[in-house]
Structure 1
């Protein structure tokens, strides 16, 4: 997977999966524009990889649109920014639901719209990968806002694929299971929490950020030229149970 001569926008690039995606894309020749909320994380990534960094709060629709425009022109887009606010459904706050949808769904729609419009204007092909979750398929307790957002993101992916395909813009989603980011490694290392999930995972381990990043790069690459409109689980067989 060689991305020389291509520019990739990665949202949520400061930490976790997004950071690994930005790093791998840079290693494989792409010029990377990293979008994220925390300036210190982005500055560190820029030093490590030479990427261009844009700090933005993607919960702000106008700011998301400005940042996406500033990142152009680009050939590839990974919508990786996402948050979760854990609350039981009966105690879920309106503002929690709205914030999760704004970042996990609306920001992806805004950035993709700005990106796709520019590709169409330039009559250029491109690829988009939306980072979803197995939470779009399953109803995890205390994850009402998050599950709703990822189900919406999968739906958005299908509509984007249907409408953007004729313009030579491929759109797919990846749906990771438990992925061992720094925070997740602490949270899921406890046997009482991680044990039941791990027992349902046939490969016997949780995903590392590289596992998910490699799947994303495949979907961005020419090797996936006929893969379009799909939600690809990256969860070690968890959904097979």
Structure 2
């Protein structure tokens, strides 16, 4: 069984093909990490899979640029994770005056992220690592069957990154991430996919990907 799949599809922007003739599938319960140099198409693949998954499954997204509204508070940015659960009137009134139940729920999400005391602070006043955790909080608040994350722990140190990846494992049955840290990728993934320009160099269970495979992936 697969949640979503690409079958010999060409992915790119406009007329530029980044990943030609690509086949890729995601199954329930997998934790897949994409590895590879910048510019090889990891974000392109994540976006394509998000579009495919979101048609049929509740999917949480953590984009690389965080996609936060700097003028709004941490609380209100996290609430945006469920905008499509409600109508425009509900969302507008909640933006003006957050409902008590929603506030309590968001604070519960922010607490393990170390952000509960910053709930009312505008995002523009936060550090890069704090902003990244707000984006994660929005995904936690949304919930769903799948988490897609594009370098979702790149702005925090290794200890915090490991803890955040642990929260991902606990909250989402299936995940598809791009990570630059190979050690973190190995600790998190059930499956590793190595991308080089033009396509996939390897796609295998994490325990079967050797150090030599990783070295070849990043070799000039």
Fold match by TM threshold 0.5: no
The answer to which structure, 1 or 2, has the higher relative contact order (CA under 8 A, 6+ apart) is 2
Greater share of residues in strand: 2
**Normalized per residue, which structure has more helix?**
1
Taking structure 1 as the reference length, what is the TM-score of the superposition? 0.35
**Which of these two proteins has the greater Rg computed from alpha carbons?**
2
The two structures have a TM-score, normalised by structure 2, of: 0.38
